[in-house]
Chains A and B, each alone.
Chain A
Amino acid sequence: MNPLQIMLLILAASSVTYMIAARRATRFAGLPGAGKSRPLHYGWYAALWCAIPAMLILALWLAMEPRLPDTVRNPFELGGHFALMTLLALTFGAALAWARRHLEPGHNARKSIERFLRNLLLICSSIAIFTTIGIVLSVLFEALQFFSLVPIGDFLLGVEWSPQTAIREDQVGSSGAFGAVPLFAGTLLISMIAMTMAAPLGLMSAIFLGEYATTRLRSVAKPMLEILAGIPTVVYGFFAVLWVAPTIRNATLALGLDASSESALAAGAVMGIMLIPFICSLSDDVIVAVPRNLRDGSYALGATRSETVRKVVLPAALPGIIGGLLLAISRAIGETMIVVMAAGLAARLTANPLESVTTVTVQIVSLLTGDQEFDSPKTLAAFALGLTLFAITLVLNIIALHIVRRYREQYE
């Protein structure tokens, strides 16, 4: 029997227990102490007691099995899962006896079940914490291993990145170079291009839709812009390769310049398109939150709409807008598919948007796709980059969320 079948067997046995217990409990009506719980509560009580210990035993067994000696795993050479099945049957019997003892009118089964459910809810909620801990530990653990091979100073300050380790020990450059500055510079360059495009367009769109557009125009244009937010990033990446990069290349050739077909400009521009709806909706939220009376005061003094927006609404909304822009920068830095498809692999330290640069996320992907042994500095370097990326985006997010929340409290 495979684990899935055993699981189904346990569930079937537990449902039988449920039915028996629930039927017995129907006789409690009118007895002293009854009335706090209904038959179904007794049924659930018995079924949970039967199912959960058996499931835990099964999970434990599956986790331990490879490490158990054969005498424990299969003591009588009766094949397959004899030992496991005996263990499960014993657990099930004990649980059944326990549940049977509590199957009486004086025992409030509902209360026990509700306590159980509440704890279950709490456990589910803490999965968010465990995920964060898992991310930090897994990335940190591998990154520390990397830093024991490559000094952290060389990683953060070195300007040469060539992770291709040689096949033979004595080859030139066999250790590889892990200076990440070109990657940081490339990430920054592409993010900057994206932000110079997305920030004004997103902000102006939000202002126009919020302050000028009629309700009808707004109800059409806003969902249209939000389509952009729902498009997967791989589609943007493909759009960059398919249309934007060739167009930019042809345009620059016509101007007498020579843009790389994997230019930072193409990747950044497409990333900018992706960020427009993000910035637009975040700015829209904060602009709408500026109290009406500030605007009315400005109009009463004879200011035009644009003057009101520029001198009253925007300064009032500034913290929120900056928070939104920071969130957008954090997304640009962590964005993967667009740059993997549209940006290059060569680590170059340049500020020329027409050249090809590489980014942190591109390198993580290129280091970890394909088969290689797990403990080489090459794969570990990816985790060091991941740690850097996680730390930077975390700080940006915390600052941004803090600013946005402070701002919101100010006007509530």
Chain B
Amino acid sequence: MSNATTLEKVRGGLRRRYRAERRFRMAGMASVLVGLSFVVLLFGAIINAGTGAFTQTRFLLDIELNERAFAGHDVSPDALQNALARADYRGLVHQSLYSLFPEARSRHDKKALRKLVSSGAAFDLRAQVAADPSAIGSTIRFDALADDESDLFYKGKINRNLAEDSRRLSDRQIAWLDRLAEIGKVERRFNRNLFTRGDSREPERAGLLGALTGSFFALLVAFMLSFPIGIATAVYLEEFAPRNRLTDLIEVNINNLAAVPSIIFGLLGLAVLLNFFGLPRSSSLVGGIVLALMTLPTIIIAGRAALKAVPPSMRHAALAMGASPMQTVLHHTLPLAMPGVLTGAVIGMAQALGESAPLLMIGMVAFIVDVPQNFTDPATALPVQVYLWANQAERAFTELAAAATLVLLVFLIVMNLAAVLLRKSFERRW
């Protein structure tokens, strides 16, 4: 009797239990899906915002390089240089624009018209004329860089249906821009400035070269410091260290450093490297040293794992042939562990490339136009450039920040793929 009731109880509960089972399973699947959808959302939002910055608008202008503007250029080479330096290129660009729109007569209109072209166009024109002074006196074709607002307009990011006073372009300016497009004077090209120039206050002339160079120098310093030191530490702890207090202390410290917030390393760099040792502020040298200290634990932990994976029989064989412990490590164990160590180093460098918080502390956030030439020049880094541009008010800078993020992500993906390939192609099963 009691058996039957137990069985009934179990059977009665089965449906409920199976439902609970399904619910639990669905909850698990849902969390994975939510996680994956975040990946898609994040990449989608950034790609959507950033792809526009890889192209930019240019106006195809005809510029008359009249003799008057370059007075005396044909007297002597010196006079030519003088004339080239003195000429009013800005005026030439503006003249060409006015001639396209003769109806813009008032000062107010002319000013609005001038605003459509980037103020940097004059510099480009100067470079073009200096490259070919023989064109003076004739009319040349010049591709003038559009202002960031005009650029955004052609990319469809300025809503022309908004009320006039709530957008950055006036009705008249929009009419001109439409007209320019109609007569075929507008062209969208690959944004070369993005990869050939440093930062700028003008979004259309701002580029990543300075940040890329800064990151490169900082990573070079970080690698040259953390790779040898990391290997040495891993070798010592794995192959030589006796079990004593000192070894324990070192291990505790490494584990702990791996979990210290990155901004604390920035404070260390500020107090010790900048204020105590007086190293140059904002330099990629200091940035590199700080990043090296941060990536050290990653490289050490990866190196130890790689050394541990080398089977003891290799060591025994070398020792049996009369090699000293140091020779065993240097000639046999370490070369066998090298693929693993390198993989760890690449992953560590990828981490260092994405790190920005400690760099803010040591002054690598300054607005720097010049591309750094060496380790002590003021520099900024790729992730910091993202931060700087994301903080700017103009919408064109948001687009640039998204583009810089995409460049950063491409570098990271390449580095991580390299690490995976390295591991795959050199992995050994003993």
Chain A interface (Cβ < 8 Å from any Cβ of B): 110, 114, 117-118, 120-122, 124-129, 131-132, 134-135, 138-139, 141-142, 200-202, 204-205, 207-209, 211-213, 221, 224-225, 227-228, 230-239, 241-243, 273, 276-277, 280, 304-307, 309-310, 327, 330-331, 333-337, 340-341, 361, 364-365, 368-369, 374, 382-383, 386, 389-390, 393-394, 397-398, 401
Contact = CB atoms under 8 A, between A and B. Distances in A.
Given A131-B293, A336-B261, 20 more contacts: A118-B236, A121-B233, A125-B237, A128-B254, A139-B268, A139-B271, A202-B35, A204-B31, A208-B31, A208-B32, A230-B416, A231-B42, A233-B356, A235-B46, A235-B383, A334-B260, A334-B261, A335-B261, A341-B391, A393-B261
Contacts of B42: 228, 231, 235-236, 239, 273
Contact of A110 (B235, B262, B324, B401): B324
B39 A114 contact: no
B127 interface: no
Interface in B309-337: 324-326
Contacts of B398: 242
B263 A242 contact: no
B386 interface: yes
A277 B36 CA distance: 10
B360 A224 contact: no
A158 to B, nearest CB: 22
A235 B405 contact: yes
Interface centre among B31, B257, B268, by most chain A C-beta atoms within 10 angstroms, is: B31
Contacts of B360: 336, 340, 365, 368-369
B41 to A, nearest CB: 7
A127 B241 CA distance: 15
A66 B405 CA distance: 43
A238 B405 contact: yes
B342 to A, nearest CB: 18
Contact of A225 (B30, B35, B240, B365): B35
A359 to B, nearest CB: 11
B355 A232 contact: yes
Interface in B398-414: 398, 401-402, 405, 408-409, 412
A204 B27 contact: yes
* Interface SS, A side: helix
Contact of B35 (A121, A280, A309, A393): A280
B191 to A, nearest CB: 19
A208 B293 CA distance: 37
B371 interface: no
Contacts of B34: 201
Interface string B15-33: 0011011011101111110
A337 B356 contact: yes
B324 to A, nearest CB: 6
B51 interface: no
A139 B267 contact: yes
Contacts of A221: 32, 36
Interface centre among B232, B241, B263, by most chain A C-beta atoms within 10 angstroms, is: B263
Contacts of B264: 135, 139, 334, 386, 389-390
Interface string B54-81: 0000000000000000000000000000
B271 A142 contact: yes
B229 interface: yes
B259 A207 contact: no
Given A205-B31, A368-B270, A234 B383 contact: yes
Nearest 6 interchain pairs by C-beta: A334-B261, A232-B354, A208-B28, A138-B271, A124-B232, A306-B24
B38 interface: yes
B163 interface: no
Contact of B263 (A202, A365, A374): A365
Contacts of A236: 42
Nearest to B387: A234
B257 to A, nearest CB: 6
Contacts of A126: 246, 250
B219 to A, nearest CB: 13
Contacts of B390: 237-238, 241-242, 341
Contacts of A127: 229, 233, 296
A51 to B, nearest CB: 16
A205 B32 contact: yes
A242 B402 contact: yes
27 contacts: A110-B324, A121-B233, A124-B236, A128-B297, A131-B253, A134-B272, A202-B35, A204-B28, A224-B36, A225-B32, A232-B408, A232-B412, A233-B356, A235-B409, A237-B390, A238-B387, A239-B45, A280-B35, A305-B21, A305-B24, A309-B24, A330-B259, A331-B261, A334-B260, A340-B357, A386-B267, A389-B261
B206 interface: no
B350 interface: yes
B361 interface: yes
B249 interface: yes
